[in-house]
């Protein structure tokens, strides 16, 4: 059976480590140049080397995004940057622009080249074009249906990657001019201001200041605001489509988001691989995806053309049932005490849930906490404060504490 790669976003070094520890087969990350997420933390050169080495130490992969659409002045620094990525040991680079592809093929001939979803590959002929130019993989456009993917799979002989979870873009495969028009921040060079999430109303030219409803009985609407993609319920179809890599969106999302989504899809993919004929989507997996910050879910373009049902017109706000409050840094099996790095104010008496990599979740009450001076405390209010508390069960390093909102 084709068991696809589970590919996770890594907005910084901590998210990279959490994604891999919670079950991702590979991560994609950006440096401080030439990526389409200028406002995520991104990686310095030393962090990129460390992240790639960490992935390789687990037998996993790291791909680097070089997917901006550069202008002439951007090209001068490109060759040196590509050489650094190659020497750092990256397993591939993700490219949108044909000019960048040309330079990469010349400067780093041994580095696998992946074609980004931003390159708008919506048919087998365009994918075959990249195959003939030597690309290792194509990340298919979000606008494709599952049937479209099946046709492409039969026509080409390179790796195919597609998004299975995360935010959707209102513009064609993420190619957007709105941000540049409204704010001067170029989405195609990594600086998107996300105007698709803003609230809009209608104003007539000769009546300034008078705003008219765009939809009936509403004084404004989020006309561009898409639901989030979630294909958990359709993993068998996706696996059997011949996709080689399942991609999770979210380099600007939280570490809690990354770890939770990766863990759910890891368990689901493995469950299907172990017993395809018995596979069922567990309710606990669905519940986990409600705990993270997200918009309402949609299946995007995979099974039908999108409609008003795939948009959110009333609000741009997120929903979540739980919040991340602490990260386990160490656990002493003899004393049953865990050292926890605080990530949100927590108090004794609170009911919490512990999510662990590769292990079932469990719940308990915070009964006792000690500060770094071994003093009893009732509340841990300081960001990243180190505290110690007894745990009901043994916990692994990188386990996450969370509570219901």
DSSP 221-270: B-TT-BPEEE-GGGHHHHHHTT-SEEEE--TTS-HHHHHHHHHHHHHHHH
Given a cut of 90, whether residue 223 has pLDDT beyond it is no
Residue 228: per-residue pLDDT: 87
Query: To the nearest 10°, the Cα dihedral for 95, 97, 99, 105?
Result: 20
Q: Do residues 87 and 149 share a domain?
A: yes
Residue 24: per-residue pLDDT: 98
Among 225, 168, 167, 175, residue whose Cα is nearest residue 195: 225
Residue 165 lies in a domain: yes
261 contacts 7 by C-beta, under 8 angstroms: no
Residue 269 lies in a domain: yes
Residue 367 lies in domain: 322-404
Percent of the chain with pLDDT over 90: 71
Residue 266: per-residue pLDDT: 98
Residue 205: per-residue pLDDT: 76
Alpha-carbon Rg of the chain, whole angstroms?
A: 23
Residue 216: per-residue pLDDT: 41
Residue 345 lies in a domain: yes
Q: Do residues 290 and 342 share a domain?
A: no
404 contacts 357 by C-beta, under 8 angstroms: no
Given a cut of 60, whether residue 38 has pLDDT beyond it is no
171 contacts 188 by C-beta, under 8 angstroms: no
Q: Give CA–CA dist 115/342, Å, rounded.
A: 39
Residue 307: per-residue pLDDT: 66
Q: Over the stretch 357-386, which tens digit does the pLDDT of each residue have?
A: 999 999 999 999 999 999 999 999 999 999
Residue 213 lies in a domain: no
Q: Do residues 250 and 362 share a domain?
A: no
Number of Cβ within 10 Å of residue 314's Cβ equals: 13
239 contacts 272 by C-beta, under 8 angstroms: yes
Given a cut of 90, whether residue 178 has pLDDT beyond it is no
Q: Do residues 161 and 275 share a domain?
A: yes
Q: Do residues 241 and 373 share a domain?
A: no
Q: Do residues 151 and 259 share a domain?
A: yes
Among 366, 361, 368, residue whose Cα is nearest residue 351: 366
- What SS3 state is found at 382? coil
Q: Do residues 331 and 267 share a domain?
A: no
Q: Do residues 49 and 105 share a domain?
A: yes
248 contacts 8 by C-beta, under 8 angstroms: yes
Q: Do residues 88 and 138 share a domain?
A: yes
Residue 211: per-residue pLDDT: 72
Residue 312 lies in a domain: no
Q: Do residues 280 and 351 share a domain?
A: no
Q: What is the CATH number of the domain that holds 96?
A: 3.20.20.330
Residue 34: per-residue pLDDT: 82
Q: Over the stretch 245-301, which tens digit does the pLDDT of each residue have?
A: 999 998 888 999 999 999 999 999 999 999 999 999 999 999 999 999 887 888 888
Out of 19-23, 67-71, 95-99, 302-306, least confident range: 302-306
The mean pLDDT of the chain is 89
- What SS3 state is found at 82? helix
Q: Do residues 33 and 138 share a domain?
A: yes
Number of domains in the chain: 2
Q: What's the rounded mean pLDDT across residues 135-161?
A: 96
Question: What phi and psi values does residue 166 have, to the nearest 5 degrees?
Answer: 125, -170
Q: Over the stretch 200-219, which tens digit does the pLDDT of each residue have?
A: 767 777 778 777 666 544 54
Q: What is the CATH number of the domain that holds 349?
A: 2.40.30.10
> pLDDT confidence of 157, banded at 50, 70, 90?
very high
Going by the DSSP 8-state scheme, the letter that residue 388 receives in this structure is E
Residue 96 lies in a domain: yes
179 contacts 271 by C-beta, under 8 angstroms: no
Residue 311: per-residue pLDDT: 65
Residue 12: per-residue pLDDT: 94
Going by the DSSP 8-state scheme, the letter that residue 166 receives in this structure is E
Q: What's the rounded mean pLDDT across residues 75-103?
A: 96
Strand partners, 402: 324, 353
Give the end of a domain, one of 247, 268, 300.
300
Residue 40: per-residue pLDDT: 52
Q: Do residues 18 and 95 share a domain?
A: yes
Residue 342: per-residue pLDDT: 97
Given a cut of 80, whether residue 222 has pLDDT beyond it is no
């Amino acid at each position: 059976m084709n068991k696809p790669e589970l590919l996770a976003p890594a907005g910084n070094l901590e998210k990279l480590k959490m994604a891999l520890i919670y079950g991702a087969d590979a991560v994609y990350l950006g440096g401080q140049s030439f990526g389409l997420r200028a406002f995520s933390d991104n990686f310095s050169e030393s962090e990129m080397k460390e992240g790639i080495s960490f992935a390789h130490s687990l037998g996993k992969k790291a791909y680097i995004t070089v997917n901006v659409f550069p202008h002439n002045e951007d090209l001068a620094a490109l060759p040196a940057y590509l050489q650094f990525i190659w020497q750092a040991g990256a397993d591939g680079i993700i490219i949108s622009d044909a000019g960048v592809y040309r330079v990469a093929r010349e400067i780093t001939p041994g580095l696998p080249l992946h074609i980004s979803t931003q390159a708008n590959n919506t048919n087998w002929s365009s994918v075959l074009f990249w195959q003939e130019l030597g690309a290792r993989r194509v990340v298919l456009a979000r606008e494709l249906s599952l049937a479209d993917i099946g046709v492409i799979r039969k026509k080409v002989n390179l790796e195919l990657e597609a998004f299975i979870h995360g935010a959707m873009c209102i513009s064609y495969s993420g190619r957007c001019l709105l941000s540049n028009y409204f704010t001067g921040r170029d989405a195609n060079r990594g600086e998107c201001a996300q105007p698709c999430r803003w609230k809009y109303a209608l104003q007539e030219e000769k009546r300034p200041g008078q705003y008219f409803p765009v939809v009936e009985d509403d004084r404004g609407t989020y006309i561009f605001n898409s639901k989030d993609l979630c294909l958990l319920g359709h993993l068998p179809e996706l696996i059997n489509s011949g996709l080689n890599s399942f991609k999770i969106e979210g380099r600007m999302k939280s570490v809690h988001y990354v770890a939770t989504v990766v863990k759910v899809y890891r368990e689901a993919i493995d469950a299907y691989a172990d017993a395809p004929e018995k596979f069922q989507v567990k309710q606990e997996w669905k519940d986990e995806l409600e705990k993270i910050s997200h918009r309402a879910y949609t299946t995007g373009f995979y099974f039908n053309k999108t409609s008003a049902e795939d948009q959110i017109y009333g609000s741009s706000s997120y929903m979540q049932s739980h919040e991340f409050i602490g990260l386990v840094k160490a656990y002493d099996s003899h004393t049953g005490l865990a050292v926890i790095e605080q990530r949100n104010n927590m108090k004794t008496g609170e009911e919490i849930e512990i999510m662990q990599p590769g292990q079932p979740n469990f719940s308990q009450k915070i009964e006792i906490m000690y500060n770094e001076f071994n003093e009893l405390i009732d509340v841990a209010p300081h960001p990243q404060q180190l505290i110690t508390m007894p745990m009901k069960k043994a916990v692994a390093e990188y386990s996450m504490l969370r509570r219901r909102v």
